Amino acid sequence: MSSCEARQCQACLVYHTQKRCPACDAAQRVARGKPGAELEKIIPAFFADDGCGCRSYARKMDRWGVEGCRKRHAVIVKRLVREASKVPVIRLLGPVNKMVAQEWVSRAIANAEQERTTSLTRP
């Protein structure tokens, strides 16, 4: 790729000319205390589907922060269950139980809260 050619990062969809995506690198550096990033760590990898929009929703959750995600807990769970039901592998295994989704979202928020608190007390 020449220095004039821009390519689109498949993870974040940002166009750039560098070898590594600067947007993804920046997102990884500031992922502490981010509920969406924490939820991505919890959800099993085989749930991933390129067309589900989960990464962009996780980034939205990160912008909402811990408190915003607490307020939207039921909405996040509903979307998680709905999107998971569209993935063929999940349909074979059965629907994602609402209780499991609630646990994943609650744990992601708690992990983000803990990470946020820990990062504030680090020297």
The residue ranges of every structural domain in the chain are: 1-30, 31-121
CA-based end-to-end distance of the chain: 41
Instruction: Decide if 97 contacts 61 (C-beta within 8 A).
Output: no
Q: Check residue 29 and give its pLDDT.
A: 46
- Alpha carbons 110 and 61: distance in angstroms, whole number: 13
Q: Check residue 81 and give its pLDDT.
A: 86
Does pTM surpass 0.85? no
CB atoms within 10 A of CB 14: 15
Q: In terms of pLDDT, which residue wins out, 115 or 123?
A: 115
- Alpha carbons 94 and 107: distance in angstroms, whole number: 22
